[in-house]
Amino acid sequence: QLVKQLENGGLTTEDALRYARQYINSGSTLPAATPLDMTDRLVKIVPQGTTLSPTSGYWIMETEYDVLKQNPALMAEKLGLPQGSQAGAYDVFLIRPNRGAVVFESSVAPTIENGVTQSGGASQIIVPNRNLFTPPVKIDTINTK
């Protein structure tokens, strides 16, 4: 189902399979299909000033963001952000489904990069077809210090 959604978003079968593997490997649990409606709100956290990719598939529910921002110093660890994506401040973007959409939910896997371990554990939402969502709107900037 994930591969089919990626293909519906415009990827070739070969690219859809490659992306699906990356999404599966990013989680400590298998991605589970999760239906959304127009009231659901997804957020993306990126280093402050970073341009948001129009195809980025990694998001979190706004409720997960509300939990994470209670302890911003642990945000990068819980999200398993690569060292190149860690920052002292993050911009937060919001999208919503234009109508019903299926996304995939899993837990962020622990990561090890250059000897630095991060626990992961946040609930990530994989959005395989951004065409089904509103354009992202910046809603917040959060400092992690």
Query: Rounded to 5, what percent of the chain is helix, strand, coil?
Result: 30, 35, 35
Cβ atoms of 80 and 110 closer than 8 Å: yes
Rounded Cα gap, residues 24 and 1, in angstroms: 12
pLDDT tens, position by position, for the chain (145 residues)? Answer: 999 999 999 999 999 999 999 999 999 999 999 999 999 999 999 999 998 888 889 999 999 999 999 999 899 899 998 888 889 999 999 999 999 899 999 999 998 888 888 899 999 999 999 999 999 999 999 998 7
Provide the token pair at 85.
């994506």
Rounded Cα gap, residues 103 and 126, in angstroms: 6
